[in-house]
Amino acid sequence: MTRVPVSNKWTRRRALSALGAAGATSLAAAAGIPRVFAQEKAPIKIGVVLPLSGAYAAQGTGAAQGIQLLAEQTNAKGGLLGRQVQVLVEDSQLKPQTAVVKATKLIQQDGCNFLMGEISGASTLALLEVAEREKIVMVTPYSSPEAVTGSRGTRYQFRTYSNAYIQAAIAVDTMIKVGGKKWGVLAADYAYGQDYASHLRRLIAQNGGQIVAEAFPALGTTDFVSHLQQASSGDPDVLWMVEYGRDATVALNQAVSLGLKKRMALGLAVANTEQVSGMQPGVFEGTFSFVTWYPNWSSPESKAFVKAYLDKHGGYSEAAGVHYIGAQVLFAAIGNAKGIESDPVIQALEGKEFDTIKGKIKLRAYDHQAVQTYFVGRGAVTSEFPVPIYEPVKTYAPDVVEKDFMPPPDPKVHPVRWRQGG
């Protein structure tokens, strides 16, 4: 897949441009132009923190391109609130401490008005503290740990993606019927993997199944053979792999090479085009995944985005799509708030519904978690679409998701830190 990299050089140019705009505002004030007028014409700056290097580099690059594409389209139509949108991207290097440093720079030095990110669960949790400290609205289009909109959440942050609870609950509901009741679990040993695995233990048992084996390889593992042998011991009906990015690619390639696809249903916790592109021939077909959005999504708006991204970058990117969706929600809220101050934008986000390329998304008022359509898909290579896709096995409408597949808005069951004064 051909990609246009989002480099640190590109980010520095945008940062310099932003500083130039800030300087122009100061000069306008010195020239006697009213300060309010100068501020209104300054760009709205979106600070983005993503892994542009390391195991999730392909996803981070696609994600940044998705946000930038919406900004370019918005600017071509006259901007947002009559102002241009400027996207400044920094590389977290897949390190929580680096993510914090980069986010702080974007806000304090580059003057960003909003924050978007991250992909890594650990980095996202670290960024929550930055959003809280700086009192800046943050949209998370991709990261999945439940704590992000739960025990470590902040009123300044909103997630437009699914979370580990939703992913696990929907996967279990489908795969126990499609695959069977005996499960093996391979989960990355970090916040997201552990979070997801804990939900699987409870949900599989509630649905009359059992986990017969588990394995927890470190993030960045390159040889999964011993972990796969451990997770597949006990002859499970389903081997569910809570891996992402390059790790998911390697794990599924090696699972199929071990012959596991012939013995059990294989699945990945989340769908991603970047990880699929690295799979060996014959690996992807017939495997399963939970899907938030994918390039074969059938809405006209989604098809228009896919074409625009293909025309600009020469490829297909799930990461770009979900970040485009997150930016759609943020931009709409800024417009509805008629300003960039945090409190009005929070009010414009909380409990509200938004039109996106995949359809309606509502941000639940209690915890700022998105309510939207999802499906569990089966991998296929078809003549109708030029890249491997997930064909829906079972689709879950937003009202069903909110009723049956999300943690309830109950502090005893699903505590939210900022709702409890934390």
pLDDT in tens, the chain (422 residues): 333 333 333 343 333 343 334 333 333 333 344 434 445 589 999 999 999 998 889 999 999 999 999 999 999 999 999 999 999 999 999 999 999 999 999 999 999 999 999 999 899 999 999 999 999 999 999 998 889 999 999 999 999 999 999 999 999 999 999 999 999 999 999 888 998 999 999 999 999 999 999 999 998 899 999 999 999 999 999 999 999 889 999 999 999 999 999 999 999 999 999 888 889 889 999 999 999 999 999 999 999 999 999 999 999 999 999 999 999 999 999 999 999 999 999 999 999 999 999 999 999 999 999 999 999 999 999 988 888 999 999 999 999 999 999 988 989 888 899 887 65
Task: Give the integer Cα–Cα distance in Å for 191 and 181.
Answer: 26
Q: Which of 33, 53, 410, 376 is nearest to 245 (CA)?
A: 53
CATH of domain 164-296+373-407: 3.40.50.2300
The alpha-helical segments, DSSP class H, found in 207-245 are 225-231
Question: What is the residue extent of each domain of the chain?
Answer: 8-162+298-371, 164-296+373-407
Task: Provide the β-strand partners of residue 60.
Answer: none
Same fold, 8-162+298-371 and 164-296+373-407: yes
For the domain covering 8-162+298-371, report its CATH number. Answer: 3.40.50.2300
> Which two three-digit tokens encode residue 225?
């053979």
**For residue 118, cis peptide bond before it (omega within 30 degrees of 0):** yes
Query: Rounded to the nearest 5°, which phi and psi values hold at 106?
Result: -60, -35
Q: Burial, 75: exposed, middle or buried (Cβ in 10 Å; 0-12, 13-18, 19+)?
A: middle
